[in-house]
Amino acid sequence: MFSYTVRRLLGAIPTLLILIGLAFVLIRAAPGGPFDTERSLQPEIEANLSAAYHLDEPLYQQFGRYLWGLLRFDFGPSFQYRDYTVTELIAAGFPVSLTLGACALVVALLVGVTAGSVAALRQNSFVDHGVMAVSMTGISIPNFVMAPLLVLVFAVYLRWLPAGGLGEGNLVLPVIALALPQIAYLSRLTRGSMIEVLRSNFVRTARAQGLPTWQVVVKHAMKPALLPVVSYLGPATAHIITGSVVIEQIFGRPGLGRYFVTGALNRDYTLVMGIVVFYGVLIILFNFLVDLAYAWLDPKVRYR
């Protein structure tokens, strides 16, 4: 297990380097620059700004300088927010994004696993068909469409919840909008896996011993049925992280998503790169933790 852990950590290094290289090239290939304004700057001033931020150097030299900064955990200065470094902006926005993403993931797990388990226990019933119909709807409608609909219904028409921003109750609609697609996927995964486990021999033996249904499900069927769910947690975390970029912008939450959109629109190279690298490290880390959890849930799994 230790050798597998070391191999996975070392294997993440080239993946992260490819991600950094692609993001570095693509953000600079976009039209415009970080100092493009409505009032054009004088050539001397623009040249001085480019020299101050090393934008007049060849691209390979800029890339090497950026990698050297990353090795020292320095994401560089922000072009748009002149008084802040990218590290300070990430430190300010990440708690907001973390709260939103963690709440959405917990809600998705609780609701999705519960709905999928109930649908599996009531297979081919009205409850089963209802859960699957709602799941297909959740998969078909993206969260950037669902979010304005939630605002329109619960904030504008019913006036039950605020439309956005920070404060008490302002987290409900963003969490629901971010969690709905994952609830749909998790409920379908749990249903299919639970049905397969309930038909296995060890579950039939437990039922033959006279154990109640809840005990059979919780103590015997739930753990193996969660294996596909655990495998999906890595991609689910990635979907929630990338989906929060749009959701934070819609609901006006000052997280990393808003910084990313603002940085992309203003060609703030270092800010966009910093958020991309930070998200990339998080996704790689979560996928690594999912692999370890999979081995813990299934003792038959052996990494060689």
Local confidence pLDDT in tens for the 304 residues of the chain: 667 677 777 777 888 888 888 988 888 887 777 766 545 667 776 677 777 777 777 888 888 888 888 888 888 888 888 788 898 888 888 888 888 888 888 999 999 888 888 888 888 888 888 888 888 887 788 878 888 888 888 888 887 777 766 665 578 888 888 888 888 888 988 888 888 888 888 777 877 777 777 777 777 777 778 878 877 877 777 778 777 778 888 887 888 888 888 888 888 888 889 988 888 888 888 877 777 776 666 656 555 5
Token pair of 21 as six digits = 């290289």
The one-letter amino acid code at 220 reads: H
> 224, 211, 209, 202: which is closest to 117 by C-alpha?
224
CA distance 181 to 143: 7
Token pair of 157 as six digits = 């028409």
Q: At what angle do helices 172-198 and 126-140 cross, to 10 degrees?
A: 130
- 144 burial level (CB within 10 Å; 0-12, 13-18, 19+): middle
Rounded alpha-carbon distances, angstroms, from residue 286 to 14, 184, 294: 17, 21, 12
Do 247 and 178 form a contact (C-beta atoms < 8 A)? yes
pLDDT at site 4: 66
The CATH class of the 92-253 domain is: mainly alpha
DSSP H or E stretch at residue 131: helix 126-140
Do 223 and 276 form a contact (C-beta atoms < 8 A)? no
